Structure 1
């Protein structure tokens, strides 16, 4: 046990030194981008990635289909968000919720007594019908409810929308992630709407300073129990993807909740070229990402840290590139 603890401490020290020497220029750039994101009170939404490449640009087409009325609601959401001194992430949550619930329109009808942009219900204490149909009232109330959600700044915007709306279909808010990010950049004049900085096209950046922070967090959880479906708002126990989510969240990068979605939350590279902080995945069919069932963090020197299964605490173990079910691509989150 003492040897294992010493090894873990040595890994942390090595990664901290390597990432702090400035030997990797990209790490310096990433640090500046992280500072800019913190200035906006935002985190990197890894499922969208950098603003100049990949899925971050895919919201432009959906945004172009919006009518004048819909864009007017977007502009009002952003304006009220600014007046309330809320960060762009709050605007994004409201846009995704409004697009999902009403198509960003102030509807005078809905399921049962639901009304307005966010389909608020008078019978559930949201206000009178006249109030709910007033877009200014509805948007302000949505922001009030949102800011009362614990950790809303540290999770995916669609998850925060669900926390406010309490829908029977919680995953549907994610559909409008890219469009909302495009709108807060385009309408809200935010240079880095996803919080992930600028992309580098097809070139894969070197490991970032965020990777060092994520590694330190993951290693500090060694020995804690595995629990399938573990909550992501405490560190009492973990499953594989909650450990990765919390590790990168500590570094300002928001990952999706489950492993198969985390596979799409960064740049792909051959698994044999993985570097410290990259995510490795296991699937029932390694050629089909839809069958991914496990994720771990690569530490370098053929070592990983993972929350593996029931009865096995968070631990460090060796990895082999020819392991059964190992997916041939690794992921570098948020780039």
Structure 2
């Protein structure tokens, strides 16, 4: 199931002396329901000694007010709801949703933007409306941001030394966006969707590998993952390289049942050539190569076996409407 989205808008915003004009920007794109384009609701699991994400109800009045302003600016700029979630999570990581007058080197404000890096003057950056507008403008300039996991989209704007840290605030940001009129409903780890995807995959045991096949009589690696999750009401991207973007990264040594594992020729996402599903207890199910049917085999996570990516992907794709 695919949804055609056409976005056309003309926005003029006056913020802190800056006139921002987004003129007649029209995008026509096809989004597979269930990709990261619809949002990534759940945070990465935190270590046991971490303070972890907080609930929206525990925020101060200042924090809630700043979150509301960020979302309001996104609405005024006609930014898709997922962009609001990215912006709120980013500000939570950078400043804990406080308009700070200090930071690393010359970083300031909600998003810790730097005058020396072209974000504006000190006075402009300390205007929350200006800072939010600048963040959204930079986000909209990132090619394919709607298909990225939250942490990756935020990192494309912020260039942090700790890119995965943004993801821990995804759930909080989703709650705040939902309170202001947005909504994203995602598959939960360990839930019935995970077990249904595994059930479907294991029912395909013994079927032949065929490059480009998506069933029902034969599969390639990503085709098997595609159909397994589709049976649970979740649409993944088509190829193994694209499926990397259908969830949140976690250390592969901590892989959970249902996570996607990836193999890469050079350790980068561009080099990904294979995907499999982790079943737990050091085993995976995969459609590996020509002449080898769908099978279950042991996998070494720590240290990782040859070409295995250091992160697994925990599927966080939204559920699509089922008839």
TM, length-normalised to structure 2: 0.56
Of 48, 53, 56 in structure 2, the residue corresponding to residue 63 of structure 1 is 56
Name the CA distance, whole Å, in 2 between partners of 1:185 and 1:100: 19
Of 285, 292, 303 in structure 2, the residue corresponding to residue 317 of structure 1 is 292
Q: What CA deviation, in whole Å up to 9, does each residue of 1:176-201 have, x standing for no partner?
A: 11111121112x222x324x479996
Name the CA distance, whole Å, in 1 between partners of 2:34 and 2:239: 26
CA shift for structure 1 position 124? 1.1
What's the C-alpha RMSD, in Å, of the aligned pairs? 4.7
Q: Which residue of 2 aligns with 1:176?
A: 169
2:281 maps to 1:287: yes
Is the contact made by 1:117 and 1:135 (CA closer than 8 Å) also made in structure 2?
Answer: yes
CA shift for structure 1 position 41? 10
Name the CA distance, whole Å, in 2 between partners of 1:67 and 1:147: 29
Of 111, 114, 124 in structure 2, the residue corresponding to residue 118 of structure 1 is 111
Q: Structure 1: which 5+ runs fail to align?
A: 1-30, 50-58, 223-241, 269-277, 299-303, 306-313
Q: Which has the higher contact order (CA 8 A, sep 6+)?
A: 1
TM, length-normalised to structure 1: 0.54
Distance 1:287 1:156, change over 3 A: same
Is the contact made by 2:85 and 2:174 (CA closer than 8 Å) also made in structure 1?
Answer: yes
Q: What CA deviation, in whole Å up to 9, does each residue of 1:199-235 have, x standing for no partner?
A: 996576856xxx9xx975994999xxxxxxxxxxxxx
The structure with more strand, counted as a fraction of residues: 2
CA shift for structure 1 position 106? 0.8
Distance 1:200 1:173, change over 3 A: closer
Name the CA distance, whole Å, in 2 between partners of 1:131 and 1:123: 13
SS in 1 for 2:98: coil
Name the CA distance, whole Å, in 2 between partners of 1:135 and 1:193: 25
Name the CA distance, whole Å, in 1 between partners of 2:56 and 2:70: 15
> Mapping of 1:1-335 within 5 angstroms?
31=1, 43-45=37-39, 48=42, 61-186=54-179, 188-190=180-182, 192-194=183-185, 196=186, 202=192, 216=214, 219=220, 244=240, 246-247=242-243, 254-257=246-249, 260=252, 263=255, 279-281=276-278, 287=281, 298=286, 304-305=287-288, 317-321=292-296, 323-325=297-299, 334=317
Distance 1:102 1:44, change over 3 A: same
Distance 1:316 1:71, change over 3 A: farther
Q: What CA deviation, in whole Å up to 9, does each residue of 1:217-263 have, x standing for no partner?
A: 994999xxxxxxxxxxxxxxxxxxx95351475xxxx2235683995
CA shift for structure 1 position 168? 1.2
